[in-house]
Amino acid sequence: METHLALLASRLTPFVEVEVAVAAGTQPHGRETVGGVTVHRLRTLGVLAATPICPELFTIIRDVRPDLVHLHHPHPLAMLGYLASGSRIPCVVSYHSDIVRQRVLGRLTAPMVRATLRRSAAILVASSEYLDSSTVLQPFRRTCHVVPYGFEPVAPSRIDPRAVAELRSRYGPRLVLAVGRLTAYKGFEYLVRAMADVDARLLIVGEGPCRRMLEHLISTLRLRDRVTLLGAVADVAPYYEACDLFVLPSVSRNEAFGLVQLEAMAAGKPVVNTAIGSGVAYACPPGLSGLAVPPADPAALAAAIRQLLADPELRRTLGAAGRARVATEFSAAAMVRQTVDLYEQALRPAVL
């Protein structure tokens, strides 16, 4: 969600004046301009059920006095802030995901979410598959618009070939990559278990609360020579270039799209993902640009990875199809154009 918001906000600046409110730790409210975007960094008192507690969300709309509010869900506190403001300012919602894991939170916030969606002039969903499978969105289908996430591939000239060669030399020659926050729904536990039956090296880029559990699992399964947790890296592009294939092993609909798949596809790499009934298959269709396996199934993951490692021609075919799909279906320009059109529609009644 953060990656999408950063790209969207920066590309909207030629068309609208953009101000963004984000959670920013325990520091007092700060304001700065980044790439033409005014960023309000709101003080965070803590995190409850993966939701930052930012009291200033209840005053930021009144303080900024925008013409339109664009909310990104799941973030129930932001929705509450919008409703509590009492403002009649038009609202657009990017609906990234249902609230899946935090079931108690989901039940408690459901009336607030429905109230916000009811008031929204437009609801943006990244794929028709997610729209069709979300029970929350069904009563609001007439307001929903499918706007796929935009993506801007890293230009090959910006990728240091020496960095790619060094990664291949250090970890290759059979290199599997996964990228994402180390949280339960990402399913990295099952990918680590799969590597017990794969003769290759797995690199996992990312940090998160499951790191200690994954370290213990790697040690217990004696996979230190096959699995490496890299943590956060300054530039992930060389890792996509160096790997033979990419894996997105998510286990729940919290993974609504899997933007990292587009990064791998843009680098011409085949993807192994999981059939979780969200927009993951829309981003990377099985059989076109990758392979899909059942979620939480280490044996199936291992079999798909072995299949791709054993078949260079299949990797090339799937990788080429993925690169073409990113270029034609997921451009940042198309995402921004559709979003601006929806802004104009949302503002039209207020103008008239």
Q: Give the residue extent of every domain in the chain.
A: 2-150+331-351, 156-328
Locate 179 and state its tokens. Answer: 């990228």
Q: What is the pairing mode between strands 69-73 and 51-53?
A: unpaired
The per-residue DSSP string of 224-253 comes to TTTEEEEE--S--HHHHHH-SEEE----ST
Q: What is the pLDDT of residue 352?
A: 40
Beta bridge partners of 90: none
Peptide bond into 349 cis (omega under 30): no
Superfamily holding 156-328: Glycogen Phosphorylase B; (3.40.50.2000)
pLDDT in tens, the chain (352 residues): 888 999 999 999 999 999 999 988 777 778 999 999 999 999 888 877 677 888 888 899 989 999 999 999 988 889 989 998 888 899 999 999 888 766 666 678 899 999 999 999 999 999 999 999 999 999 999 999 999 999 888 888 889 999 999 999 999 899 999 999 999 999 999 999 999 999 999 999 999 999 999 999 999 999 999 999 999 999 999 999 999 999 999 999 889 899 999 999 999 999 999 999 899 999 999 999 999 999 999 999 999 999 999 999 999 999 999 999 999 999 999 999 999 999 999 998 654 4
Q: Mind listing the pLDDT tens digit for each residue in 330-343?
A: 999 999 999 999 99
Q: What is the pLDDT of residue 151?
A: 86
CATH code matching the domain that covers 2-150+331-351, chosen among 3.90.230.10, 3.40.1160.10, 3.40.50.2000, 3.20.20.70: 3.40.50.2000
- Whole-number Å distance between alpha carbons of 301 and 60: 45
Two domains, one topology: 2-150+331-351 and 156-328: yes
- Whole-number Å distance between alpha carbons of 56 and 37: 19
Q: Which residues contact 49 (CB under 8 A, 6 or more apart)?
A: 102, 104, 105
Give the number of other Cβ atoms within 10 Å of residue 303's Cβ: 16
